Amino acid sequence: MISINNVRKSYDGKTFAVDNLTMNMSEHEVFGLVGTNGAGKSTLLRMMAGVLVADSGEIMVDGQQVYDNPEVKKNVFFIPDDPYYFPAATADDMAKYYEGVYPETFSMDRFVYLMENFHLDRTKKIAAYSKGMKKQLSIIIGICAGTKYLLCDETFDGLDPVMRQAAKSLFAKDMEDRGLTPILTSHNLRELEDICDHVGLLHQGGVLFDRDLNDMKVSVSKIQCVFKNDEDRVAAEENMDILIKSNQGRVYNYTVNEPRETVEDNFRGVEMLLFEVLPLTLEEIFISETEVVGYDIKKIIEG
């Protein structure tokens, strides 16, 4: 487990990139960190990787401080948004370097296998790679490092849809085979909703929201319906805990703070022309949960 307790970090002594942040990240789950640019995601990952030290508070990886602790860092691999590669280095050069950094866990055989399957030239200078190819290489090296925790900043940025799915498949395989715990950041909720078990929303250096995704999906429902008449609609709305309401003509959409079973019970006696309980997107879930504390999630996530 990675435990973050009351952590603060400022680069200028005035403005805090991370401000009194507390959260826990469990093992064997995909944890997604979302938020706009400047929300503190990258700074937090760098502190979790032991690259930066917190001004106050503590970050513990499996019960030990991570900063200036080589033994703990053996279990952590950090993929920054813009990975650094040595000048004139090839992919093989970087793989040999990281094999030296992680001598107990790095798999060169797997590196060769994945590079071939991703159709990347191991002997070509990385400077000649496209942005997407560099991102693919960073993910392959991170996977092959064999660490327990893989911290990925803006994981899928620059990858086409096929490569995004391939990266997600790699994460899933290593979670099953060796207990990998990926921690992924993005400014886009849609990037993470099909892979994450737990999601935290960062805003202005703090945690606005931190919840298990399955728990959220169970407690909130989305309804699409057509009522026989307005009287039935008004009566039904009085019995719903409505978070979001919209309509196009006679077709009404509601997001309600109620589980599916309660929704179905509430509508059992209402004569409907159309009634469906639809799956929620991650964005819709966050909209419903953050409205309670007075935030407009669309402004926060989409800028």
Domain at 216-302: CATH code: 3.30.70
Q: What is the pLDDT of residue 19?
A: 92
Q: What residue ranges do the domains of the chain occupy?
A: 2-212, 216-302
CATH superfamily, with its number, for domain 2-212: P-loop containing nucleotide triphosphate hydrolases (3.40.50.300)
Continuous segment of H or E residues that includes residue 183: strand 181-186
Q: Which of 130, 160, 155 is nearest to 77 (CA)?
A: 155
Please provide residue 137's backbone torsions phi and psi, each rounded to the nearest 5 degrees. Answer: -60, -45
The torsion angle over the Cα atoms of residues 136, 138, 139 and 142, rounded to 10 degrees, is: 160
pLDDT digits (tens, 9 = 90+) for 231-276: 999 989 988 888 888 999 999 999 888 888 889 888 888 889 999 9
DSSP state of 148: S
pLDDT digits (tens, 9 = 90+) for 155-205: 888 888 899 999 999 999 999 999 999 999 987 777 787 888 998 888 888
Average pLDDT over residues 1-13: 93
Alpha carbon of 110 to those of 75, 102, 179, 277: distances in Å?
A: 18, 14, 17, 44
Whole-number Å distance between alpha carbons of 221 and 266: 13
pLDDT digits (tens, 9 = 90+) for 83-139: 899 999 999 999 999 999 999 999 999 999 999 999 999 999 999 999 999 999 999
